Amino acid sequence: MRDYSPTLAERLWNRATKGGDDECWLWAGKPANGYGELRFGGQLYLAHRVSYELAYGAIPDGLQLHHTCGVRLCVNPSHLIALTVEAHARRPFDETARCKQGHLRTPENTYVSPSGVRSCRLCKVESAKQSMRSRSGNRANGILMPPPASCPHGHPYPQYLSYRPSGYYCCKECTRLRAQRRKVAAKQP
């Protein structure tokens, strides 16, 4: 085990938000590759490794630390376990690991991209739904909503209404005037 000075330990705990034993203690200092990073005495330390070594002693040779909570910025020593490289590779999912929105990470609801990046399928579905809602214009849950009485420029819609496949209503008169302005602008040198 490295001999950490009391000031390094103080610095570590001053930059971590401590909670209960079952809660994540999040690192509030500089992150590096998702992990907390601590510079002290001209050396760079990973905050979770310092936390583990202060609580349990040296990390045995050939072992890696695994966050059982799945949060890389967590420095709670009770959320860290030392595993072999093989065991760590076999444990990408933990029952307590959750995505940013709090969905449980399981092999069924986790998408792994060809580059190896993991993302939550439930979050992707919610994001797609939100995107569709914002793009669908006057649609609500796939149902076409009635158009307003007039366009923003005051042209009455019953006369000038045009519906586009993207789900938007548009004013035929405004579209005609826009085309006319473009035509005039194109003729000017």
Provide the pLDDT for residue 137. 53
CA dihedral sign of residues 69, 72, 76, 79: positive
Provide the pLDDT for residue 167. 57
User: pTM for the full model?
Assistant: 0.49
Q: What is the pLDDT of residues 10-49, one digit of tens each?
A: 888 888 888 887 888 888 887 887 788 888 888 888 999 9
Fold of 6-97: Homing Intron 3 (I-Ppo) Encoded Endonuclease; Chain A (3.90.75)
Give the chain's mean pLDDT.
78
Measured in Å, how far apart are the chain's first and last C-alpha atoms?
78
State the alpha helices, DSSP H only, in the chain.
6-14, 47-56, 85-90, 121-135, 157-160, 172-187
Residue 124 has pLDDT above 80, yes or no: yes
Tell me the domain boundaries of the chain: 6-97, 98-135, 145-187
Mean pLDDT, rounded, for 155-172: 66
